[in-house]
Amino acid sequence: MWQITWILGLLPEWFWHVITIGGAVALVVSLVLSRIPFVSQYNLLIKLAGITALLLGIWMEGSIANEAKWQAKVADMEAKLEEAKKESVKVNTVVETKVVTKTKVVKEKADTIIQYVDREKEIVKFDTTCPIPKEAIDVHNEAARMNQAIEEMRKGAKK
């Protein structure tokens, strides 16, 4: 059924306005001029054609109005989509700034820990009889975890 409506929808809108008005005029003509002998013999045919044209015209007028309503909704949603795209660009910029700042802070902490470990290594290096203190091992492991976190953040930012 929708195929018929689609095919009829290819005709211009003014055509359906003319059909609706023509159907109404045909009904009025069949009622008013039914007493004229020439018209009275075609009265039933004029009424049927008028009713058919009027019903088809009203049907297509409704279809045109419905299509216009849906097109307005589509245009409204497209406007909202464009607005959401603009907003997402702003939010993405804020998120990017936060990620860069957080990466910088993590990198600074990792550099500080690495410097501390290097300094502790130099102290232990001269004393061969002394075992490495547990604190130095903990600091070294913390620096490794920080470097790993930085790498994971960089991979996440690239995606």
Mean pLDDT by 10 residues, the chain (159 residues): 79 91 92 79 89 93 91 95 88 79 80 71 57 77 80 70
What's the pLDDT at 10? 85
Label residue 26 left, alpha or beta by phi (over 0 means left) and psi (-120 to 50 means alpha). alpha
For the chain, give every domain's residue range: 2-158
Element (H, E) at 74: helix 43-125
Q: pTM for this structure?
A: 0.51
Rounded CA gap, 38 and 105, in Å?
A: 99
Residue 110: what pLDDT? Answer: 78
State the amino acid at position 29 in one-letter form: V
| Measured distance CA(1)–CA(9) in Å, rounded | 13
Tell me which residue of 149, 159, 142 sits closest to 103, measured CA to CA.
149
pLDDT at 129: 62
CA 63 to CA 2: how far, in whole Å?
11
What distance in Å separates the CA atoms of residue 108 and residue 116, rounded to the nearest whole number? 12
